[in-house]
Amino acid sequence: MAHITLQDLKHSYNERPEDDDDWALKHLSFECEDGGAYALLGPSGCGKTTLLNIISGLLIPTEGRVLFDGKDVTGLMPDQRNIAQVFQFPVVYDTMSVYDNLAFPLRNRGLAGEAVDQRVRQIAAMIDLTDTLHQRAAGLSADGKQKISLGRGLVRADVNVIMFDEPLTVIDPHLKWQLRSKLKELHQQVGTTMIYVTHDQTEALTFADKVVVMYDGAVVQIGTPVELFEKPQHTFVGHFIGSPGMNILSCELDNGKPVLAGEVISANPIKQTPPTGTNLEIGIRPEFIHFAKSGLAVKIVRTSDAGHFSIVETLHKDQSIKLLVPEGAEIPTENAFIEFDKAHTQIYADSQIIT
Amino acid sequence: MQRFKWLVPTLYIIFLMLPIYWLLNMSFKTTNEILGTFSLWPREFTLENYRTIFTDSTWYNGYFNSITYVVLNTVISVTVALPAAYAFSRYRFLGDKHLFFWLLTNRMAPPAVFALPFFQLYSAVGLFDTPLAVALAHALFNIPLAVWILEGFMSGIPRELDDTAYVDGYSFPRFFFKIFIPTIASGIGVTAFFTFMFSWVELLLAKTLTSVAAKPIAATMTKTASTSGYELGLLAAAGVLTIIPGAIVIYFVRNYIAKGFAMGRV
């Protein structure tokens, strides 16, 4: 268990990085509190795995430092950092039995006998491997092997941090739920710092206390799931989180008020007026738009039913706006008007929030 | 049609086994019978040919020499190729792909090309007529092949295995010997088989680089025909005994070879 500090990290896989594109991580600093459950969320190729490998010591960052409890570990090898890591694809030691696989990290730290046995059985029971404990690991199915990987990550109680790199990719959907809630449960029991990398927002939002959203080698927002939902700091976050994502509508400013194609919109007040020439956008989640008697005139393009609500796609001038309508509510066909919920209407300048 | 399903495989096996049977057949006959009559099985069954081989030191030393340099060669090739193949499969460095390809250049020429340089070099450094000379000469051909085969097997093992072992508390040497090598054991088996086979059947270099002390069995076999008339029975017996080591080795790796072929590297 440790407090993890990442200071001014930069990493490039090129030996002599020249332009911006050579950097897999572009200047990144953040802290993980002791005992927190963190999720690194972002699209494929945004640098999540690179960051994880830097924390575990498999990669040495080009610049910057990694601190565990204030102690600089940047130069330490993975085996000296006292961590556990679970990878996306199952990794098992084929030549050992399931039991020996699970016991391996414990034995490497000098544990023996009863202590190992007890812990291995406890973990095996948790991930449903008790029946296969004495089989050879090589003979198991892909999700069986991944369970071993998970188990091996969880088996040591004294690690600084456990890292998961998209660990549930190869697991069956029904088992995913089960394993995720088990992980969550275990986190509450032992309170180890956990970092969970994923590109699946449901996984990130259900697992983590705090979600770190990454985009193109940089952190765009760190926050609780609610913060990410209600106040995205970056249009990418708004777009990436939520289904459907945030409506991003290009607009202009007039006396500090956003103007959307000639109509003034009421939004959160702007904290700082951006310089002229920046690209201005309104961000509003479909959840916070509703039909009204007056407001923005829109044309309804399509309605799709999504269970408890319908997603209505509308067109205002040439900008598409999506909104969510609860089940049973009436959807106007002609002369439709929509209204934005003022408290949840944000303004972005060059993709960064300014409200 | 169904009733004759057995026909093709049977014919195939007969054609396959016929030369081996004939060799076996000859090895139990006397030279007179071989030359004088046509017989499908030995009329005068004799073990005399085998007795000669096991008692005459020029014969059994041949086997001993051959096995010595073949084993030596296999050990050298695999030991050297393991770290090389690991480097090619795990690291990226300047020119790695070119180097990997050009490793095979030595195999692009017939071994005869290298016979003279090796002979000259070994005579100069005093290695001539030793099993080590032949083993080293064969290593020139076998190491590139071994690197290729092993690289294929190693690349089939995900990098994450390495990473997990480090995270779980192993240093690189411990990981390499305790986890990695057992994991690619089948690949090592296949590699050992191919290096063994090349070295076991190669005649030209083995013959050129030895004279008396380290003379291989194949060289012994080529000479006997001219010393005291024809000794065909003896030669046949020597042939049978030469097949056996190869057969034993192939038996042990038979399951892994299919895997090696499937990876397209063998």
pTM more than 0.80 = no
H or E element, residue B204: helix B204-208
Determine whether the interchain pair B167/A58 forms a contact, defined as Cβ–Cβ distance below 8 Å.
yes
User: Helix, strand, or coil here: A145?
Assistant: helix
Rounded CA-CA distance A234/A241 in Å is 11
CA–CA separation, A137 and A102 (whole Å): 10
A85–B167 C-beta distance less than 8 A: yes
Q: What number of H helices and E strands is found in chain A? A: 9, 22
Q: B56-223+238-262 architecture in CATH?
A: Orthogonal Bundle (1.10)
Per residue in A126-143, pLDDT (tens digit) is 888 888 888 888 888 888
CA A127 to chain centre: 24
A289's tokens: 């738009």
CA atoms of A39 and A56, how far apart (whole Å) = 15
CATH 3.40.50.300 residue ranges of chain A are: 4-235
Residue A212 in tokens? 């770190």
* Contact between A218 and A45 (Cβ < 8 Å): no
B181 touches chain A (CB under 8 A): no
Question: Do B169 and A108 lie within an 8 Å CB cutoff?
Answer: yes
- Mutation target for B interface from A94, A106, A162, A170: give the one with most B CBs within 10 A: A94
**Type of residue at A282:** I
pLDDT at B226 over 60: no
Q: Is a pLDDT exceeding 60 seen at residue B221?
A: yes
Pick from A53, A84, A93: which is nearest to B179 by CB? A93
Would you say residue B237 has pLDDT above 70? yes
Q: pLDDT tens digits, residue range B83-136?
A: 999 999 998 888 888 888 888 777 778 888 888 899 999 999 988 999 999 999
Cβ-based interface (< 8 Å): residues of A facing B = 53, 56-58, 77-79, 83-85, 87-89, 91, 93-95, 104-105, 108-109, 149, 152
For residue A244, say if its preceding peptide bond is cis, omega within 30 degrees of 0: yes
Query: Which of A56, A91, A136, A154 to probe the B interface (max B CBs under 10 A)?
Result: A91
Q: List the alpha helices (DSSP H) in chain A.
A: 48-56, 78-81, 98-108, 114-126, 142-154, 173-190, 201-207, 225-230, 235-240
CATH 2.40.50.140 domain extents, chain A: 245-353
Q: Are A323 and A338 in contact (CB under 8 A)?
A: yes
Q: Which residue type is seen at B132?
A: L
Class of domain A4-235: alpha beta
Burial of A287 (0-12, 13-18, 19+ CB in 10 A): middle
Query: What are the C-alpha distances in Å from A147 to residues A56, A88, B163?
Result: 20, 11, 17
pLDDT at residue B255 in the model:
80
Q: Is B177 on the interface with A (CB under 8 A)?
A: no
Whether A53 sits inside 8 A of B164 (CB atoms) is no
ipTM of the assembly? Answer: 0.74
Gyration radius of chain A's alpha carbons: 24
For A281-297, the pLDDT digits (tens) are: 899 999 999 888 888 88
pLDDT band at B229 (very low <50, low <70, confident <90, very high): low
Here the tokens at position A103 are 């016991």
Asked whether the beta carbons of residue A83 and residue B158 sit closer than 8 angstroms, the reply is: no
pLDDT of residue A211: 92
Query: Locate tokens 């030191």: which residue?
Result: B57
**Residuewise pLDDT in 10s, chain A (355 residues):** 688 888 888 888 887 777 777 888 888 888 888 888 999 998 888 888 889 889 988 888 888 899 998 888 888 888 888 888 898 888 888 888 999 999 998 988 888 888 889 989 988 888 888 888 888 888 888 888 888 888 888 888 888 899 998 888 878 888 888 888 888 888 888 788 899 998 888 888 888 889 999 988 888 899 999 999 989 999 999 988 888 889 998 888 887 788 887 788 888 888 878 887 788 889 999 999 988 888 888 888 888 888 888 888 988 888 889 988 888 787 887 788 888 888 888 889 888 888 8
Q: Which residues of A touch B169 (CB under 8 A)?
A: 79, 105, 108-109
Q: What would the pLDDT profile of B152-210 be if each residue is shown by its tens digit?
A: 889 888 888 898 888 888 889 999 998 899 888 888 988 998 899 889 988 888 888 88
What separation in angstroms does the CA of B211 have from each of B2, B131, B217, B223, B226? 58, 11, 12, 12, 17
Backbone region of residue A217 per phi and psi (left: phi > 0; alpha: psi in -120 to 50; beta: other values): left
* CATH level 2 (architecture), domain A245-353: Beta Barrel (2.40)
The number of CA neighbours under 13 Å toward the Cβ of A1 is: 11
Q: What share of chain B is helix, strand, coil (3-state, %, to 5)?
A: 75, 0, 25
